[in-house]
Chain A
Amino acid sequence: MQLAVWTYEGPPHVGAMRIATAMEGVHYVLHAPQGDTYADLLFTMIERRGKRPPVTYTTFQARDLGKDTASLFQDSARDAIERFRPGALLVGSSCTAELIQDDPAGLAEAMGLSCPVIPLELPSYQRKENWGASETFYQIVRTLADRSVSAGPREGRRARANLLGPAALGFRHRDDLREVRAMLDRLGIDVNCVAPLGASPDDIRSMGRADFNVVLYPEIADEAARWLERTFGQPAVRTVPIGVGATRAFIEEVATLAGVDASAALEDGESRMPWWSRSVDSTYLTGKRVFIFGDATHAVAAARIAREELGFVVCGLGCYNREFAREVRAEAKACGVEALITDDHLEVEAAIADAAPELVLGTQMERHIAKRQGIPCAVISSPVHVQDFPARHSPQMGFEGANVVFDIWVHPLVMGLEEHLLTMFREDFEFSDNAGASHLHGSAPSLGDVVAESAPAEPHSDTLWTADAEQELKKIPFFVRGKARRNTEAFAAENGCARIDLATLYDAKAHYAR
């Protein structure tokens, strides 16, 4: 058993729901106990959809268990087909139904239903939401795509691409899609099919007409893209266009595959991020220590932007989805840090406290860890809450996405600097105020407190520090104070200093200044 207060991902059937809800004309009959309909409100509330997800739940209760839950499933499937008349039916189990082993696949097959049935085997006790979405999408494509359809010769026509990955409840999928469509349009490439978002079973059937695939979210679409590659010989673009550099690489890759000139898309006059980042106002961003955590795709993209486009230093990098850990490990190596692959938020919290960053880029969960530790934070990845499904156009992808990223990431830092200046002023003015700097972060404890709290095994640093060194430490801007404290203590331990006085503090500073 695993103790969890927070899970980064839901169960795999929620991933399947994300695919069904994204598509048109697909219905999902989910064998599940009463109460599992809570998942509907992820879509109706967080994503604010004005339609119920196309999901029929059997919602069995204890009294049904003694009887025939299998026929309950069949009745639900029959009702769903009659009422919703879908072009394809997904059938599967939630975690509890998996235990009672009614075999929705076999049951649905035995019914001889009038529409294509796609059975889903989603092992709830091993796998999670993203895997569920990926598997569901793969099964849909594999079942429905018409193998007799092909792209045919290219002469005299524009290249065609499938855009794969955008789904319901995806972080900024709606706006990313608009950006990528616009890029392809500038390049003179047609979009054959976007899937799963907005795709009907007929759209899936004609996927073979595309010359190549664009995998926007590997967590969801990589599996399906590999099958399409094998079956239709469609190559896949796997560069995810998040960040200016990645967007340029993406455009060039797509242009090469399509045999078109990339320059039209590369010269995007709306791309302001590079100049914003070069302008002197951004100089103070250089070397800011940033901790990054999220799904692998967004975490890796964020690390590259941080290093190459904003001049940050990545002091921590990780992801919660083990399936894509390899990419994160490679990027972490390039950043000179150890990748953190975990779905335990307590480990992430400890790692953040340990790294003492000046900015945290993460999920909704890291936002609250950062709040507790008094560190500025921006959200870069699912899971996210309702405020990260905004009304305004807010892509992460493409040049406009890079503009958005610049604003969103720098915003909390500017605020942090303002607060820092205020604190320094107050400290000078009042002089006797040794209450510490980060108290302007509402009720958040200072970084030092959190570090001490989260590492009870270590002796409390106060016993090490002389009063004047402690006092001097408090004069260091709060957002680097945690790091200064750690460095000084590490330096003292290394050099066998029993006490940390002013000299030790400045010796350590000189030592780490290299």
Chain B
Amino acid sequence: MSAVLPLATPGADCAPVLRERGQREVFCGLTGIVWLHRKMQDAFFLVVGSRTCAHLLQSAAGVMIFAEPRFATAIIEERDLAGMADCHEELDRVVARVLERRPEIRTLFLVGSCPSEVIKLDLANAAQRLGERHSPAVRILNYSGSGIETTFTEGEDACLAALVPEMPVGDPGGEQELLVVGTLPDIVEDQFLRLFAELGISRVGMLPARNARNLPAVGPQTRFLLAQPFLTETARALKDRGARRIDALFPFGAEGTADWLHAAAAAFGIDEMHCNRVCAPGRERAKRAIAHVRERLEGKRISFLPDSQLEIPLARFLSTELGMVPVEVGTPYLHREHCARELALLPEGTRISEGQHVDRQLDRVRADKPDLTVCGLGLANPLEAEGLSTKWAIELVFSPIHGFEQAGDLAELFARPLRRRDVLRV
């Protein structure tokens, strides 16, 4: 059994990437709060923005907004802009009120938005000032989730990057430690921790941790694995603290997960035979789970519109493990280094696009007529009404899809809309 996928496939990496500018039909980074607040249970996210930001969050969070969520918006008003109120005093007041209502909060994120960035409200400064006031009970950090700077999942990147300086210093001369970076559903995180333990990697930290107060240590002894492809700034911040990235495919599907685990094992000097033994049962189960979906998806043509940066690894999974044919793979931002091996596995002729001009891209989708188009909710129903089957992209961020045990579920997410199309007689 080969440990990793062959690297020799003709590289899509060499193919030109279509770069486009124009209207972008994407979420801003504030949306990351919707899942981040669930992962970090002692953290609160206070967006400093406009009514639009609050409206976005409640539209994106849907029903969850009523379950006393750990996020809110400090809405900037006319008097804040007119200088009639001191923004910093106002912010202090709002923060005090939040902390009074939620005394269990240990970390408060002040999240920048487009309005707060444009008026140059210095939230870093505010975080520091407020941090001193509320220390040691509450740590106050800041990052920007504004649309002008971040696209959808990049909000998580910005949030995690803000946590990196808070991570304790590890023992540089100590034993090598593994850090897994990127928010994973709890069940997936537990599966990976079990696998690492079986491999013999016992010192494993997660970023983010379930408690923002229990951050893992970092230093030159740290080797980190990205679980998500959108963590550019976080990776850079970790490197600045001496940690080294382990290059691997992202853990989607049987092969992606095996490669990810093998890369970690190799970095920790673990015997390859042992690694094969540990991975074998999960990998076999994953293949079996995928097999029945493969019949339905093999040969089907798929296009991705840019959304989360998951597009390239997912297109690789669908292509290598399910036999789908990627037509266009659009991504909001392409990190060539982190995705180099993913790109190399995409079939030759795959059109890679970075950025968006939504009207032109939709023209291409209509001309290509793919069997399935992965796109956001703003486009999904309109494309369905034109007769094009779609898979709405946000679900890929909100479902457990990483690892061996979720490979079948991941494949099923793409098969379901097509099966539904075949089943319906109305």
Contact = CB atoms under 8 A, between A and B. Distances in A.
Nearest to A56: B23
Interface in B102-120: 114-115, 117-119
A148 interface: no
B50 A96 contact: yes
Interface string B134-155: 0000000000001111010000
Interface in A87-131: 94-96, 99-100, 123-126, 128
A360 B136 CA distance: 43
A359 interface: no
Contacts of A95: 50-52, 114-115
Given A35-B147, A41-B376, A125 B55 contact: no
Contacts of B74: 1-4
B78 A123 contact: yes
Interface hub of A5, A35, A36, A59 (most chain B Cβ within 10 A)? A35
B415 to A, nearest CB: 22
A33 B28 contact: yes
A33 B63 contact: no
Interface stretch (A60-68, A196-204, A429-437, A478-486): A60-68
Interface residues of B, number: 63
B77 A1 contact: yes
A50 B385 contact: yes
A197 B310 CA distance: 39
Contacts, number: 181
Contact of A41 (B59, B81, B118): B59
A368 interface: yes
Interface stretch (A7-15, A234-242, A395-403, A410-418): A7-15
Contacts of A2: 74-75, 77
A76 interface: yes
A125 B24 contact: no
Contacts of A39: 55, 59
Interface stretch (B65-73, B227-235, B345-353): B65-73
Nearest to B362: A52
Contact of A38 (B51, B60, B380, B385): B60
B293 interface: no
Contacts of A230: none
Interface stretch (B90-98, B296-304, B416-424): B90-98
Contacts of B384: 50
A385 B63 CA distance: 9
A311 B151 CA distance: 53
A34 B98 contact: no
A39 B94 CA distance: 27
A94 B77 CA distance: 14
Nearest to A371: B66
A56 to B, nearest CB: 6
B41 interface: no
Contacts of A96: 50, 52, 114-115, 118, 147-148
A338 interface: no
B117 A36 contact: no
Contacts of A425: none
Given A33-B148, A35-B114, A44 B379 contact: yes
A385 B62 contact: yes
Contact of B382 (A1, A33, A52): A52
A4 B57 CA distance: 11
Contact of A99 (B28, B73, B115, B377): B115
A99 B55 contact: no
A37 B26 contact: yes
A3 B151 contact: no
The residue among A42, A124, A126 with the most chain B CB atoms within 10 A of its own CB is A124
Contacts of B376: 41
A334 interface: no
A13 B359 CA distance: 21
A44 to B, nearest CB: 5
A125 B71 CA distance: 21
Interface in A358-400: 365, 368, 371-372, 385
Interface string A10-50: 11011000000000000000000111111111101100111
A431 B380 CA distance: 56
A79 B75 contact: no
A40 B384 CA distance: 15
A48 B382 CA distance: 9
Contacts of A41: 59, 376-378
B60 to A, nearest CB: 7
A58 interface: yes
Contacts of A157: none
A14 B90 CA distance: 27
B197 interface: no
A125 B60 CA distance: 22
Nearest to B82: A125
Nearest to A37: B25
Contacts of A124: 50-52
B276 interface: no
Interface in B23-53: 23-31, 48, 50-52
Contacts of B60: 38
A39 B74 CA distance: 20
Interface in A308-347: none
B54 interface: yes
Given A1-B80, A35-B27, A100 B51 contact: no
A3 B51 CA distance: 10
Given A35-B30, A49-B381, A62-B117, A40 B25 contact: yes
Contacts of A6: 54, 58, 65
Nearest to A38: B56
A33 B50 contact: no
A346 to B, nearest CB: 9
B23 A76 contact: yes
B201 to A, nearest CB: 38
Nearest to B67: A368
A83 interface: yes
Contacts of B66: 365, 368, 371-372
B23 A35 contact: no
A154 interface: no
B59 A7 contact: no
B195 interface: no
Interface in A126-143: 126, 128
Contacts of B397: none
Contacts of B51: 4, 7, 9-11, 95, 124, 128
Contact of B97 (A3, A128, A372): A3
Interface in B345-368: 359
A44 B55 CA distance: 16
Contacts of A372: 66
A39 to B, nearest CB: 8
B76 interface: yes
Nearest to B56: A38
Contacts of A34: 24, 26, 28, 147-148, 151
A57 B23 contact: yes
Contacts of A33: 28, 114, 146-148
A35 B90 contact: no
Contacts of B75: 1-4, 7
Nearest to A7: B54
Q: Which of A10, A48, A83 has the most CB of B within 10 A?
A: A10
Contact of A59 (B23, B80, B98, B379): B23
Interface of A: 1-7, 9-11, 13-14, 33-42, 44-45, 48-52, 56-62, 64-65, 76, 79, 83, 94-96, 99-100, 123-126, 128, 365, 368, 371-372, 385
16 contacts: A1-B76, A4-B51, A10-B51, A34-B24, A35-B29, A36-B52, A38-B27, A38-B28, A39-B59, A44-B382, A51-B382, A57-B23, A96-B52, A99-B115, A125-B80, A371-B66
Nearest 7 A/B pairs, CB to CB: A35-B28, A35-B147, A50-B385, A40-B378, A368-B66, A96-B114, A95-B50
Given A1-B91, A37-B25, 6 more contacts: A34-B151, A35-B26, A51-B385, A59-B23, A126-B77, A368-B66
